[in-house]
């Protein structure tokens, strides 16, 4: 059996779902446009530059979830999926996932974006396992905090390994292990698998991939 792990934003999607969710809330008037847009753009630039403070970002990103009942959030998410996510899932991304699923590989979506935003996206892609940052809840309502280790940089390695151990597996349980990602933030997990694949990579990841002889895949227009 083989293992296939997929990043989400700018890997299987042609957008960043974290950023787009914030923009969706701005466009609906749920949050203040001027201040939230400035912060969203600043955090996005830091992420692309590899300088993001994940705890500071999560305080910003998860706070709106704590301000609204779950039913309202779920209704907004359905609109978000239709308007911003489904158009960002291209046929090549679906085919990539399908190739691994049809090959009988154990597949998981491994993303820093929180599980409220990414859970329905994972289902849409047909991937059974989601390893994401977990927004904390109390009595079914989001608190604005994080449960456990954020699924970011080295945290992705720790979270994947905990997931594998929970099923009685380890890296050497698999003949081959893939991780597909666009971001240099994912170098820790890319360096852990047997088959790292840089998908439409950022400049830093592209340079690293070329030097290391990793596969570079372009699937987005």
| pLDDT tens-digit readout, 31-57 | 989 988 898 899 989 988 889 899 999
Query: Are residues 164 and 5 in contact, defined by beta-carbon separation less than 8 angstroms?
Result: no
> What is the total residue count of the chain?
221
Place 216 in a pLDDT band, splitting at 50, 70 and 90.
very high
pLDDT at 221 over 90: no
For the chain, give the percent of residues with pLDDT over 90: 91
Place 135 in a pLDDT band, splitting at 50, 70 and 90.
very high
Query: Are residues 9 and 85 in contact, defined by beta-carbon separation less than 8 angstroms?
Result: no
Q: 60: Cβ–Cβ under 8 A, 6 or more apart, which residues?
A: 39, 40, 43
Which pLDDT score is estimated for 44?
A: 86
Name which of 57, 119, 139, 116 is nearest 108 in CA terms.
Answer: 119
Name which of 177, 161, 179 is nearest 169 in CA terms.
Answer: 161
- Which of residues 39 and 174 earns the better pLDDT score? 174
From the list 9, 18, 182, 186, the catalytic residue is 9
Place of tokens 């083989």: 2
Instruction: Tell me phi and psi for residue 197, to 5 degrees.
Output: -130, 120
From the list 7, 18, 105, 186, the catalytic residue is 7
Name which of 199, 170, 169 is nearest 186 in CA terms.
Answer: 199
Active site residue 9: yes
The neighbouring-strand residues paired with 158 are none
Give the end-to-end CA distance of the chain in Å, rounded to a whole number: 32
* Chain mean pLDDT for the chain: 96
Which pLDDT score is estimated for 47?
A: 87
- Which of residues 32 and 118 earns the better pLDDT score? 118
Q: 188: Cβ–Cβ under 8 A, 6 or more apart, which residues?
A: 153, 154, 156, 157
| CATH entry 3.40.50.300 includes domain 3-217 | no
Q: What is the DSSP letter of 64?
A: G
């Amino acid at each position: 059996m083989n293992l296939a792990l997929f990043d989400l934003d700018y890997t299987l999607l042609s957008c960043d779902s974290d950023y787009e969710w914030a923009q969706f809330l701005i466009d609906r008037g749920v949050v203040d446009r001027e201040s939230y847009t400035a912060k969203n753009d600043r955090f996005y630039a830091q992420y692309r530059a590899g300088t993001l403070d994940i705890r500071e970002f999560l305080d910003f990103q998860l706070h709106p979830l704590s301000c609204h009942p779950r039913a309202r959030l779920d209704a907004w998410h359905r609109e978000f999926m239709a308007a911003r996510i489904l158009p960002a899932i291209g046929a090549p991304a679906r085919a990539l996932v399908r190739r691994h699923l049809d090959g009988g590989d154990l597949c998981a979506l491994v993303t820093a974006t929180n599980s409220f935003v990414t859970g329905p996206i994972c289902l849409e892609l047909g991937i059974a396992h989601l390893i994401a940052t977990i927004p904390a809840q109390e009595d079914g309502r989001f608190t604005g905090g994080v449960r456990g280790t954020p699924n970011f940089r080295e945290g992705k390695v720790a979270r994947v390994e905990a997931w594998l151990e929970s099923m009685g597996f380890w890296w050497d349980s698999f003949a081959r292990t893939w991780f597909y990602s666009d971001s240099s933030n994912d170098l820790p997990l890319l360096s852990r698998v047997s088959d790292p694949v840089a998908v439409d990579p950022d400049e830093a990841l592209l340079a690293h991939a070329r030097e290391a002889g990793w596969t570079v895949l372009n699937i987005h227009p």
